Structure 1
Amino acid sequence: MFSSPLVLQIPSSMQMTDEQFFEFCQVNHDLRIERNKFGELVIMPPTGSETGNREGNIFGQLWVWSEQDGTGITFSSSTGFKLSTGAERCLTTSHSVSTPDASWIKLERWNSLSAEQQRKFAPICPDFVVELKSPSDNLQTLKEKMEEYMKEPGIQLGWLIDRKHRQVYIYRSGLPEECLNNPASVSGELILPGFILNMSKVW
Structure 2
Amino acid sequence: MSLTVEDLEKMQQQYPDYRMELVKGNVIVMSPSGYESDEVAATMVSQLYNWVKPRKLGRITASSAGFRLPNSDLRAPDASFVLAERLRRSPKTFAQLAPDLIVEVKSPSDNVEDIRAKIQEFLSLGTKVGILLNPDEQVVEVYNVEKEVIVLHNGDVLTVPELLPGWEVPVSDLWPVEFD
TM-score scaled by length of structure 1: 0.79
Gaps of 5+ in 1: 1-11, 86-94
How many pairs were matched up?
175
Q: Deviations over 1:175-196 (max 9, x none)?
A: 2323223354301212111222
Distance in structure 1 (CA, Å) of the matches to 2:84 and 2:9: 24
% identity of equivalent residues: 30
Residue 73 of structure 2 corresponds to 96
Distance in structure 2 (CA, Å) of the matches to 1:186 and 1:68: 20
Residue 131 of structure 2 corresponds to 159
Does residue 1:64 correspond to 2:50, yes or no? yes
Partner letter of residue 164 of structure 1? D
Distance 1:26 1:69, change over 3 A: farther
Q: Deviations over 1:35-55 (max 9, x none)?
A: 112x22111111222222221
Residue 22 of structure 2 corresponds to 35
Q: Deviations over 1:101-159 (max 9, x none)?
A: 11110111112x8x7xx222221010111001111100000010010011012x21110
Distance in structure 1 (CA, Å) of the matches to 2:17 and 2:171: 29
Residue 129 of structure 1 corresponds to 102
Q: Deviations over 1:11-32 (max 9, x none)?
A: x2xx333223123223322212
User: 2:154, 2:172 within 8 Å by CA — same for their partners in 1?
Assistant: no
Residue 177 of structure 1 corresponds to 149
Instruction: Give SS of 1:68's match.
Output: helix
Does residue 1:24 correspond to 2:1, yes or no? no
Distance 1:108 1:200, change over 3 A: same
What value does the CA root-mean-square deviation take over the aligned residues? 1.8
Partner letter of residue 11 of structure 2? F
Distance 1:45 1:133, change over 3 A: same
Distance in structure 2 (CA, Å) of the matches to 1:100 and 1:124: 13
Residue 74 of structure 1 corresponds to 60
Gaps of 5+ in 2: 176-180
Distance in structure 1 (CA, Å) of the matches to 2:13 and 2:116: 28
